[in-house]
Amino acid sequence: MQTKSENACFGGVQGVYSHASDACKCDMTFGLFLPAEARDGPVPVLWYLSGLTCTHENAMTKAGAQGWAAEQGIALIFPDTSPRGDAVADDEAYDLGKGAGFYVNATQDLWAPHYKMWDYIADELPALITGNFAIDGDRQAITGHSMGGHGALTLAMGLPGRYTSVSAFSPICNTTGSDWGRKQLSAYLGDDEAGWAAHDASLVMRERGFDGPVLTDTGTKDQFADLLKTETLAEAAMARRQQATIRMQPGYDHSYFFVQSFIEDHIAFHAEALYA
């Protein structure tokens, strides 16, 4: 692991690190914010999964999360959204390939050598971080934006007992029923739709739900509303009687201005669960 940068931030340290990934077969970069409390021992952590076209840097610099995390004594992890490098397969479209890993393990020949983002987020990166930093691996929560909201929800429900709480900003809620999903799942996983279900938050919500609190926020003026399909997640949560708060925020769009506006709420939501 290499240190790319470390900066003082709200009494703690905002670092950027790279490492050779066994899962993705390339070098990967991530951001990690450690609050001041990490100098005295392991602290709980909130994962932030970013959306289409993003790297580790977008949320790290635009979400405004570090100050609120510092108040709560919580670390923040900002992973990348896909494998990177000249040898990594890509596509001309913004919503497939680099920057669009969709947090799945690809099985199709073009993508399978590198696109193992589920394994990277679920296994490899947690082991690396807890092995090298003052992170309490027993107290983890997860959030994300857009494609990252899809990833946060599916990982949280797909890894029972891992996360105390899950939240999302403008999540893609129904990948099997949206062009932000069908295109990518067919490319990465093939045409057998039976293999897609584990990566559709609404289907997984209906089937198994989440053993803990759930919070989502989506703007009423989100320009991608037809692709997000928030109503499918709400219907699935209601059908399952899942503990969930699914909010529609009047006037907000899909941008990081929206994320900034509600990041305090989300960090406080996770802090309550992490310190319960």
The residues assigned a catalytic role are 146, 222, 254
Gap between the Cα atoms of 109 and 130, Å rounded:
32
Gap between the Cα atoms of 150 and 161, Å rounded:
18
| Tokens (6 digits) for 208 | 């198994």
CA atoms lying within 13 Å on the CB side of residue 236: 20
CA nearest 155: which of 166, 146, 170? 166
Which residue type does 53 have?
T
**What's the Cα-to-Cα distance from 148 to each of 58, 135, 170, 225, 265, rounded to whole Å?**
12, 22, 9, 16, 18
Q: Encode 17-53: b = buried (16+ Cβ within 10 Å), e = exposed.
A: bbeebebbbbebbbbbbbbebbeeebbbbbbbbbbbe
Helix ranges, 14-103 (H): 57-62, 66-72
